[in-house]
Amino acid sequence: MTGAFVCFSAPLQGLVSWQMSELARLCSLFSGKSTFVNVSKDCTAATTDTLSMLATGTQPNDICLLLIEGADAELMCLVLAEYVSKHWHLLSTSAFTAAANNPLDTPSRFAHPNLRVEGLHTQATQCESLFREIVERVAEKGTSMQAHAAFMAREAHSSTYLGDQVALPHIIDSSVPHPAIIVTRCHSAMTWLNQESVSLCIAIAIPCDIERTTLRAISRLSRRLSSSAFRRWLTHCDDIPTQIAMLDAALDQD
């Protein structure tokens, strides 16, 4: 279920108590519910509780979210986004278009040079068709059929549906020259092969000779995706760049 959100990175001085107190005061003015999420640290706090937000131990450049729900969520989101833009580094929001120099316009903020994370917009309604679009981005020229067969074989072995309308198809195959993660927000929820409804597909394609450091990063991401809370944060934000920033934070997590 998508909703209103504000995505930002913590400033160099971290979270300052008076700013968090002001944020809590603003949240208390609305009937909507807002949750503070430090994606990098994998922790949450109520935005009406200043001490709880400070206790998350948020450090400079941590990726953070304000997830907003309720009858007046849109207005609340607009007010909080304006506040965040004045005091911290606003990355994206459902309230309005962020600054033109938004770093999320780049394919990925993840520092590992050998791992590509990018978004895909699709009109596909079946996962077989989606896999055809994905392999065009991850497979060597002339080997797309091999990669597609690998995705289908993996799905036939056991479903890669995780829950919360999120699927994690993944292959290790010689048709893949470089490790890649393709994030697809489905135009309309598609029926996965196990008959579950999927709105977010995170496809991982890995070459047979993957480096250990990259494999560890992907393993960290897989562990985070096993969390229903993390999956719900992802699907709450109907914005591929924001979702990529969250995945990057998980890849970078120690």
Residue 102 above 70 pLDDT? no
**Percentage of the chain surpassing pLDDT 70?**
92
pLDDT of res. 246: 93
Closest listed residue to residue 136, CA positions, set 189, 203, 198, 76: 203
Segment 120-138, tens digit of pLDDT = 988 888 889 999 999 999 9
DSSP three-state, residue 208: coil
Q: Where are the alpha helices (DSSP H) in the chain?
A: 17-28, 50-54, 73-87, 127-138, 144-157, 212-225, 228-236, 240-252
pLDDT of res. 114: 77
Contact 159, 217 (CB under 8 A): no
pLDDT of res. 123: 84
Segment 25-57, tens digit of pLDDT = 999 988 888 999 999 999 999 999 999 999 999
pLDDT of res. 22: 94
Contact 104, 244 (CB under 8 A): yes
Contact 84, 22 (CB under 8 A): no
Closest listed residue to residue 218, CA positions, set 165, 178, 159, 161: 178
Sign of CA dihedral 216, 12, 7, 52: positive
Neighbours of 78 (CB within 10 A): 17
Contact 198, 230 (CB under 8 A): no
| Residue 166 one-letter amino acid | V
Segment 63-94, tens digit of pLDDT = 999 999 988 888 999 999 999 999 899 999 98
pLDDT of res. 32: 81
DSSP three-state, residue 207: coil
DSSP letter, residue 30:
S
**Average pLDDT of span 205-233:** 91
Segment 155-181, tens digit of pLDDT = 999 999 999 999 999 999 999 999 999
Global pTM value: 0.85
The whole-angstrom separation of Cα 235 and Cα 232 is 5
Contact 220, 250 (CB under 8 A): yes
Neighbours of 161 (CB within 10 A): 21
